[in-house]
Each structure stands twice: as structure tokens, then as C-alpha cells.
Chains A and B, each alone.
Chain A
Amino acid sequence: MRNRNNWLILIVLLIAFSLWVDLSNSLTVYNPISDLPLVDRDVTVKLGLDLRGGLQALLEADVPADTVVTAEELTNAKNILQNRANALGVSEISMQTAGDRRIIAEFPGVTNPEEVVASLKQTALLEFVDMGNAPVAEGTKINTDFGVENPAATTDTGETIYHTVMTGAGLQTASVGRDQAGKYLISFELKGDATKIFADYTTSHVGQYLAIVLDKEVVSAPRINQAITDGSGQISGSFTQDAAQTLAIQLRSGALPIPIKVVQSRTVGATLGEESIHKSVTAGVIGLVVIILFMGFNYRLPGIIADLALICYALFSLMLFKMIPVTLTLPGIAGFILSVGMAVDANVLIFERLKEELRAGRRLDLAIDLAWSRAWPSIRDSNTSTLITCFILFIFGSTFGASIVKGFSVTLALGVLVSLFTAIIVTRTFLHTILDRIKIAEHPRWFGL
């Protein structure tokens, strides 16, 4: 009895929390003493590309099939692509490696897929730029005279145009090392002809600054401490290990560690996505209403309680989708609606058992307990098999960049798990709570008998 009340309290708390999450776009909890936000979480529904429009591209290492691409190369390529994509100013870009030679890139809401793809494929431009005596801060965008004929000193708008001493094409290797003090630095070596250019330049510019610029953005602007004539040198600065590693990769490749090509590209217009979401939501609501009516009509009192559990199910699921967060796609919504059917199935199994036990003349409270314990093995085994299928779908979807399949399996699996909780615990708790307050023997029709 006490146990049952505990469940009831937990369920009510869960409903309250779910309503809070479901109805708001961000969770903010303030610290009562300092008035600073303790928790501040964005809980808007994440929509997939097919619902909001955008571009999905599947990129593949453009190397012969028998060439092994290491996980490190792929991850580095992904990181560099991510940096480039971020520079485009598109929000919520997602890049994931898939399998051992692919990267899935998603750009929600872009309207110019050609430009995005082109900028991904371009080779990043690495330049060594003469800064004179006045270095600019890291991260600054600058203009350089590389590839410009008869360069002027400033642009039309008056910004300085810096002189490019040489480009990344002159670089042989770059690696991360440490100095005597244990600080991270980057050692590099130059190719033959570049050694000469570099030697001449550094000899005449000791004490000045030489910026390393990637795609016109200053990565670091070290001071030339001494002439570098042997074609090797070091870039010291206040690097963390990760920063040094990233810079070394960028220096080494100037571009990507492996060539990349686009093997699949999918663009969904925003109007189509909007229409789809509107229609799916309508369909979902209508389906839910029909099920609610059907259950109430078919199973009477228990049916109505199952309906309440079903509404809890919808609230909890939406809360989880927003909290985790799960990116909703069209098949994802379909998977969710299908899991509503499976949620109902668990209750149908129990209620059919309940009818059987009641017909066999058992007392109601006993019949309820028996119905639950006897229906449990079939609920457990059937849902486990669905979860197994979801798991295999998920693996399949992640490995082959089939994000459609992945989205479906995630929502279906979550739906199955939540439905187990609502159909078994929530329905039972509600049913007992009501039974404690009425004399059921007087109302057999409430149970459809």
C-alpha cells in the first residue's frame, strides 16, 4: 500500500516535470541566494533535416578501396571540415564519422548547398604573412596579397593588405614537441626552395612578427627570434597540447589529411519540411484520439485508465526527446506513432488477462495482480525482440550514414521503454488508486463484463 503511494507520488512528479519541459523552450533554475542560474538548458525540439529543410552530405575518403584510412585521419579530417563549415556561419552544423571512411555532414536550413559543398571541398590556404612590427591578435581576419597582382597597401575600405612570404605548399612536415620548460611547441621543416625564401626573409626581419594564417585567419603570430637558414624551425607560444596538435595538423596538411569527395547529397526545401511536420503531427493527434476512444469503449474503466497512461506516455516521451535531445525526423515521428501502438498492446494484453481472471470468478484486487503477473512474460519477450531489432537498425544506420533509419530506431526504442513503464506501473497505480475509493462489486459493467 505504501509502495503504491510512492509510485503515485513519483508519477505525479514526473507528470509535473514533463509538463514543464514540454511546454517551455528552456529550463532555467535560479540559485535562490545569488540569483544566478543554476541550470540553464535549451529544451527546444530538435528537428531533423527532412522536417526543417537543409543539406545532408555523405563524404568519403577519396582513396583507392584497398587503402586503409586510419581512425585518426578520419577524425582529423572531420575536425578540419567542421572548422571550415563553422566559418561559413551556418548554425547547428553536425559532423560525424560513419564507418571507417565516411563523414556525415548536416547543415540545417541552408539554402545554398552548392556553395557549402564547394567550400568544404576547397583546399585550405596556409600562408606565412609578414606582420612587420605590429602583430594582430589570433583569430583576426586579414587581407593578404597572395595571388593578387600589383597589390596596394590597403583595400578600398582602408584595411591593411599584408604581404604573403610563402604558402603551405613550401612546408615539408610539422610536428608537436616540447621545449626545456615543458611547454608545447611546433617544429616544422621546409622543402628545398622554400628554405631559401625563408632564410632570406628571416635574416632580414629578425625581431619582427611572422603570422601563420589559415584561410585568411591568423592562427598564431610568433616573433622571429633569429634567422632560420637550415629550413627547420619552431613556433612557440602558449599552446595547450590539443591546440598544438590541431595547429600541427593544419600546418602539415594545409588541407585535409585525406582527400574527400561527396558521395551522397540530400537537400530538402524548407516548405516541404514544414508541410511534412504539420501533416505528421495532425496524423499523430488523430491516431491518438481514435485509440483513446477505442480503448475507452472496449475496456470501459480500465480502458479510460489506460488512456490516462497513454497521455502520460506521450508527455514523458516528448520530455525525453527534448531532454536527451533526440533529433526528430519524419521516420522518427513514424517510429514514435508506431510505439504508441505497442504501448497500447501491453495494456491490451493485461486487460484481456484481467477479463479472463474476472470471468474465472476471482476477486478484483487478486485478479488485477494475477493479470499483471501473467501478462508480464509476453510483454517482456515481445518488447525485447523489438528492442533487438531497434539495436540492429541503429548500428546499421550509424555505420552507413543512413540517419533516417537511425532516427526511426531511436524513437521506437525510447517509445518501447517508456511504454513499458506507463503500461505496467502507471496503469496499475492509477487503477488501484481508483479501486481503493469505489466498491467495484457493485459495478461489474465498468469492467466490460
Chain B
Amino acid sequence: MNIIKNRYLYFFISLLVIIPGIVYMGLNWQQTKAGPLQLGIDFRGGSLLEVQFAGPRPTAEEITALYKDFSTEEEPIADPQVQSLDLDSISIRSKAMTDETKGKIVSEMETRFGSKVTVLDFTSVSASVGGEVTRAAGLAILFAAAAILIYIWWAFRSVEHAYRYGTAAIIAMLHDVLVVLGAEAILGYYLGWEADALFLTALLTVIGFSVHDTIVVFDRVRENSHIYRRVEYEKMVNHSIVQTLDRSITTQLTVMFTLFALVLFGGESIRHFVVILLVGIFSGTYSSIFNAAPILVVWENREWNTWFKRKEAAL
């Protein structure tokens, strides 16, 4: 099996997945004017109220009218987005409001719609906190990347050009981050999935797993580089990938099993989170085999010198 030989095909496949994601990030930006994803209230501030009605469920118009009555200068909640959940519940998104206002709204619902109302979930985040969380998330990812780069550099100090391994692992990681962001952008655009704190957790997990997986492949390269000193670098890297392929597939399968179990039986509240994890972990395995290790070869051969000179070199 020669994976390294077709490396540009695999890079191309990655681009085929990443580019639509980036396009949808642009579309989201155009639509929301806030960011590349449909950001949830954790990041942009606002409130989310999920209520269950024992009696008849009011229409979206009735809810909007009710919210309008409670809208004030400080809490401009006049323009809520109302969505139906299951058969008897609704979720209402609006600007941030206090628990006090929420209490008034819920009791008004009970009198106006003549039905017992149960609050399933209520979250309210002020806009300033939301912005801060977004910045902190960006920083957390940068810190994680930097820490991992330094760790790999140190762990691979016994091989030549140890920094290449760290850098290649980070590039593969960025690949996975882009795939996950793209998937979220597409799902957000069509299904209205919002990026929340759980999405951030999923993204950070994918980062951890991606590097975990890449290191296993690189570890074989490290070991083989001491054993097969005479063998061409390209062949040695390919051999390392093939040797770890069984393990990569087995691990991938076991993680997929648990995640599928979570998607199927884990309930609505974490489904979004698990789907993103599935996409990210699949991407993590792909990138460690088909991107990270081939990047080492591209770097070793300094192939970028030929990219723009001869046509047959590309693809």
C-alpha cells in the first residue's frame, strides 16, 4: 500500500471538504453579521427559555405579543425567535433578561394561555460576557496548540528536524479545526444549529484527539527512523503509516461505537455535541494518516520548489 505516493490526491480531498465549509462560514457571516457560525447565546449574549405547556400550546405570534408587553428600554426583548419542540414545548430566544422578568413572563403565560407552564431550561447571558467567552475560547485554542507544538518538539528531540513533527501535527490539527468549523457552519446554515459552550468543548476534544492520533503515527516514524537508516525517507514514512494502519482503524472504530451509542441513545441535549465530535474524530484519524505524515515527506523533499514550475508535479 502506498499512501505517500498519492499524497496530493489526499490533500485535494481535504480541500474538497474544507472549502465548502469556508464558503458556508462566509454565508453565515453575511446572514448574521456576527461571525462565521450561528453563534449561540453563550458567545453572543441573550436568553433562551424552554417551556412546556400542560394544556394547549400557544402560537409563535401569541408568544411574540407577550414578549412585546414585557420589553423595556433596558431589556429590549420585543423581537423573540420562537421554535416548537416536541409536541408540547417551545423554545424562545431573545435578548438577555433577568430571572425576575422571566418569572413575570412565565406567570403571565399561565394566566394568558390558561395552561400550567413548566420551565425546562432557562439561560441568560449578558452580551459582554458572551464576547469575553469568544475571545477566551480563541486564546484557549492558541495556548493548546502552542503547548502541544512545544511538547512534540521536545518528545521528538531524538530525530532530525524535530520541529517539523510538531508543525505537521499542528497543521493536521488546524485541518481538523477547519473541518469541524465547516461542518458546524453548514449545519448551522441549514438546521439552525448554534455554536454553544458544548460545541467549544467538542472542538477542544477534537484538537486533543487529533494530536493524540498524529503522535501515534509519528511515533512509528520516530522508531523506524532509527531502524531503517538507509531507507529512503519517503518509503520509511509510508512503511510507518501502513504499520499503524490497523491500530488507527481499530481505535477509530471503538471511538465511533461509543459516539454512535451517544448519538442514538444519548438524548437531544448532547446530540449536537456528539455529531460534531464524530465529524472531528473521523477528520482527526484521516488527517494523521493522509495529511500529517505526508507533510513530513513534502517538507523533507522541499517540494514547494516544484509546485509552480512544472504542471505534472501538482496532482
Please report A residues at the B interface, Cβ cutoff 8 Å: 50, 57-58, 60, 113-114, 117-118, 262-269, 271-272, 275-276, 279-280, 282-284, 286-288, 290-291, 294-295, 298, 330-331, 334-335, 337-338, 340-342, 344-345, 348-349, 352, 356, 374, 377-378, 381-386, 388-390, 392-393, 395-396, 399-400, 402, 404-405, 408, 412
Q: Is the CB of A400 within 8 A of B133?
A: yes
Q: Is the CB of A294 within 8 A of B257?
A: yes
B137 / chain A contacts, CB cutoff of 8 Å:
396
**A183 → chain B closest CB, angstroms:** 44
Q: Is the CB of A275 within 8 A of B123?
A: no
CB within 8 Å of A: which B198-247 residues:
198, 200-201, 204-205, 207-209, 211-213, 215-216, 219-220, 222-223, 243-244, 246-247
Looking at the complex, which of B60-68, B113-121, B186-194, B299-307 is the stretch in contact with chain A? B113-121
> Which listed residue (A269, A283, A294, A383) contacts B261, Cβ 8 A?
A283
Q: Is the CB of A290 within 8 A of B261?
A: yes
B212 / chain A contacts, CB cutoff of 8 Å:
342, 345, 382-383, 385-386
Please report B residues at the A interface, Cβ cutoff 8 Å: 42, 50, 52, 98-100, 102-103, 118-126, 128-129, 132-133, 136-137, 139-140, 143-144, 147-148, 151-152, 155, 197-198, 200-201, 204-205, 207-209, 211-213, 215-216, 219-220, 222-223, 243-244, 246-247, 250-251, 253-255, 257-262, 264-267, 269-270, 273-274, 277
Complex: how many Å from CA A412 to CA B205? 9
Q: Is the CB of A117 within 8 A of B98?
A: yes
A283 / chain B contacts, CB cutoff of 8 Å:
261-262, 264-267
A374 / chain B contacts, CB cutoff of 8 Å:
223
Complex: how many Å from CA A344 to CA B219? 18
Q: Is the CB of A275 within 8 A of B262?
A: no
Complex: how many Å from CA A341 to CA B262? 13
Q: List 21 A-B contacts (CB under 8 A).
A: A50-B269, A57-B99, A263-B126, A263-B129, A264-B123, A265-B98, A279-B265, A280-B270, A290-B261, A291-B254, A335-B205, A337-B261, A338-B255, A338-B277, A341-B258, A345-B254, A352-B247, A388-B148, A389-B205, A402-B200, A404-B201
**A267 → chain B closest CB, angstroms:** 4
Q: Is the CB of A341 within 8 A of B255?
A: yes
Known: A338-B255, A388-B147. 13 other contacts (CB 8 A): A264-B123, A276-B269, A286-B261, A334-B270, A337-B262, A338-B205, A341-B251, A345-B251, A345-B255, A352-B246, A352-B247, A389-B204, A393-B140
> Which listed residue (B42, B121, B253) contacts A272, Cβ 8 A?
B121
Complex: how many Å from CA A288 to CA B259? 11
Q: Is the CB of A282 within 8 A of B247?
A: no
Smallest CB gap from A112: residue in B: B103
**B211 → chain A closest CB, angstroms:** 4
Q: Is the CB of A392 within 8 A of B144?
A: yes
A400 / chain B contacts, CB cutoff of 8 Å:
132-133, 136
Q: Is the CB of A388 within 8 A of B254?
A: no
Q: Is the CB of B123 within 8 A of A266?
A: yes
Complex: how many Å from CA A58 to CA B260? 34
B265 / chain A contacts, CB cutoff of 8 Å:
279, 282-283, 286
> Which listed residue (A57, A275, A386, A396) contacts B136, Cβ 8 A?
A396
Smallest CB gap from A400: residue in B: B136
Q: Is the CB of A382 within 8 A of B216?
A: yes
B250 / chain A contacts, CB cutoff of 8 Å:
298, 348, 352
Q: Is the CB of A287 within 8 A of B128?
A: no
Complex: how many Å from CA A275 to CA B139? 34
Complex: how many Å from CA A280 to CA B143? 31
Smallest CB gap from A337: residue in B: B258
Q: Is the CB of B215 within 8 A of A382?
A: yes
Q: Is the CB of B102 within 8 A of A114?
A: yes
Given the known interface contacts A283-B265, A378-B220, the answer about A385 and B208 at a Cβ–Cβ threshold of 8 Å is yes
Q: Is the CB of B254 within 8 A of A294?
A: yes
B201 / chain A contacts, CB cutoff of 8 Å:
331, 393, 404-405, 408
Q: Is the CB of A272 within 8 A of B120?
A: yes
Smallest CB gap from A376: residue in B: B219
> Which listed residue (B100, B125, B197) contacts A404, Cβ 8 A?
B197
Q: Is the CB of B155 within 8 A of A381?
A: yes
B213 / chain A contacts, CB cutoff of 8 Å:
382
Given the known interface contacts A344-B254, A385-B152, the answer about A331 and B277 at a Cβ–Cβ threshold of 8 Å is no
